[in-house]
Amino acid sequence: MSEAKTVTVLTQDLLNAQVGVLGSMLIDEECVGFVLSRVSERDFVTQQYRSIFRAIRTLFREGLPTDAIAVREKLGGKLGDGWSKLLTGIMDYTPTAANVDGYVQMLKEKSALYQLQELGAALQNAADMNDARSILDKAMQLQVGRPGIHALTFAKGYEEFFDRHSGETAVEHLDWAILQLNEVLKTELGNIVIIGAYPGDGKTALALQCAARFGRKHNVGYFSFESKSSRLYDRHVARETLISSSDINDNKLTEEDFKTIIALKDKLSGTKVTLIDAVGMTALDIVAYSQAQHFDVIFVDYLQQVEPPHGVLMKDFERVTSVSRELQKFAVRTNTAVISLSQLSRPDKVKVKYKDQSGKDQVRSITPPPTMGDLRSSGQIEQDADIILLMWREDYDLKDAPRIIQVAKNRNGEALDKVRCRFDGEHQTFTRIEPRPEPMPAKKARQKPRQVSFWGDGSDWQQMPDGERTPFDEAPKETPKA
């Protein structure tokens, strides 16, 4: 009796957890992405609930509403039928979505326990040891909690190696706006890239220029936490048309400017880039929206501005760490490239001595080049990133000073390479400054070799007086006697 009661309570808890998760998704669409990132259809052991979950997931991935009416239609139901009553009952049981995190945890735990009990019953009826081992393997997978893990044996890896490296399919890397970076970075989908810079150094302009180039081949999402999407698009127009961004912002465009914009329509609208006003979004919101829009590459501008999970209070360090981890898991799981912008903590200036044109000693304060340790708020950023680019000005006393972009970390190749760029703020463009050719060493005038006396007395060579012999002179030949 005791065992039967325990199973009954467990089953009821599992039913409650399934209803709580589905009800939260139906009454609050903001929960959908969060749930999909943590729950799979196999967690729903009741067939009807599993069908509802599949319908919600399909609608979400298609970018459609996930309310009860849309779900009922997706399931093929009609007003007043069994699906309508079931969906209404689920929503009535779940008055609020505020407890969705608790429902998800309970569902994962109770579902795994229920399935283990089913496997235990199957183990009792195993026909032989092979069946028993198969059941035990399934039980171990349930304990891992992620049955969708991709594993590769060496034997299977050997078979697939030739297919992957036969040369028939070219390895595709992201095409950076500054072409010289392509030679070093070899960025792939699924990589995490950090672009760190001090405020005002142009990291958003660099990111937009790269996003526009990536958008030629890939579906790109740009999540902006600082600027409105319309302002970002204005900057895109300034860069592609070379029209002054000041004239665009002040609505001072001429007739010639509009003709240029119309002529460049394909460049201005032909790339697959979506600009998103992301203020208030969490990492899970970014993940959910990216999955719904099927982005191949996403930009997060910038990392320290991403909100913590809804209803959770965190310190800056904990929040940025959590955001970095969520984005890293999303990139690996979905093979999406994530390019996150990050503020750098500006270090104290240091004093350096130099000589002015008159030769007098002078002292000047400069901002030293940044390091990965200057990434603000969390060391987790450095750990999660596959590639880290650091950007700074050569001279912070000059607004238009060249920018230096350094590859500070590169899991895909070599690091420490630097690219020197010119930043045109008026047109929002970065262009590489060609390296100055190394000056050839000046040729010295050929000097006449210093000749030293062969007499060993340390004196310089001197012309011997006429008639005197040197050690190299041939001995005079004797005149043969007649």
Question: What tens digit of pLDDT does each residue of 317-340 get?
Answer: 888 888 888 888 888 888 899 999
How deeply is 96 buried, as exposed, middle or buried, from its count of CB atoms within 10 A (0-12, 13-18, 19+)? exposed
DSSP 46-78: SHHHHHHHHHHHHHHHTT---SHHHHHHHTT--
The confidence score (pLDDT) of residue 141 equals: 59
Mean pLDDT of 465-478: 57
The lowest-confidence range among 138-152, 229-243, 253-267, 453-467 is: 453-467
Of 144, 170, 195, the one marking the end of a domain is 144
Top mean pLDDT of 249-258, 284-293, 422-431 is at: 249-258
H runs (alpha helix) in 125-226: 129-144, 154-164, 182-185, 203-214
Do the beta carbons of residue 409 and residue 387 sit within 8 Å? yes
Return the bridge partners of 352, or none.
364
Give yes or no: residues 131 and 39 share one domain.
Answer: yes
What do you get for the CA distance between the two ends of the chain, in Å? 150
Q: In the predicted model, is pLDDT for residue 3 greater than 50?
A: no
pLDDT for the residue numbered 86:
92
Q: Are 275 and 251 in contact (CB under 8 A)?
A: no
pLDDT at 297 over 70: yes
- What is the per-residue pLDDT across 185-217, written as a single tens digit (0 to 9) for each? 888 888 889 998 888 888 899 999 999 999 998
User: How confident is the model at residue 21, as a pLDDT?
Assistant: 92
Kindly tell me if the per-residue pLDDT of 220 is higher than 90: yes
Chain-centroid distance, C-alpha 159: 31
Q: Which residues pair with 364 in a beta bridge?
A: 352
Q: Is residue 449 included in any domain, yes or no? A: no
What does the pLDDT read at residue 93? 87
Contacts of residue 477, Cβ cutoff 8 Å, sequence gap at least 6 = none
Domain containing 37 equals 2-144
Q: Are residues 419 and 351 in the same domain?
A: yes
- The residues facing 431 across adjacent strands are 422
1 pLDDT tier (thresholds 50, 70, 90): very low
- The answer to whether residue 445 is domain-embedded is no
Residue 442 falls inside a structural domain: no
Structure tokens at 455: 């007499």
Compute the distance between CA of residue 5 and CA of residue 11 in angstroms, rounded to an integer. Answer: 10
| Residue 6 pLDDT grade (very low, low, confident, very high; cuts 50, 70, 90) | very low
- Provide, rounded to the nearest whole percent, the portion of the chain with pLDDT above 90: 10
Whole-number Å distance between alpha carbons of 69 and 84: 8
With a cut of 70, say whether residue 39 has pLDDT above it.
yes
Percentage of the chain exceeding pLDDT 70: 80
Mean pLDDT of 157-177: 73
Q: Taking 60 as the threshold, does the pLDDT of residue 67 lie above it?
A: yes
* Inter-residue contact 25 to 38 (CB < 8 Å): no
Residue 443 lies in a domain: no
Same domain, 188 and 110: no
264 and 398 assigned to the same domain: yes
User: Could you tell me if 184 and 78 lie in one domain?
Assistant: no
Residue 477 lies in a domain: no
CA dist 323 and 385 (Å) reads 13
- Decide: residue 376, CB within 10 A, 0-12 exposed, 13-18 middle, 19+ buried: middle
Lowest mean pLDDT among 129-133, 288-292, 407-411, 474-478: 474-478
At residue 393, the 3 state secondary structure works out as: strand
Looking up residue 19, the CATH number of its domain turns out to be 1.10.860.10
Asked whether residue 2 carries a pLDDT value surpassing 50, the answer given is no
Does residue 403 sit within a domain?
A: yes
Exposure string of 32-60, with b = 16+ CB inside 10 Å and e = fewer, is bbbbbbbbeeebbbeeebbbbbebbbebb
- What are the pLDDT digits (tens) for 86-143? 999 999 888 888 888 888 888 888 888 888 888 888 888 888 887 787 777 676 656 5
pLDDT at 4: 39
Model pTM?
0.63
Q: What are phi and psi of 399, to 5 degrees?
A: -60, -40
* Number of domains the chain is built from: 2
Decide if pLDDT at 462 tops 60.
no
Mark whether 214 and 115 lie in a shared domain: no
pLDDT: which is higher, 356 or 290: 290
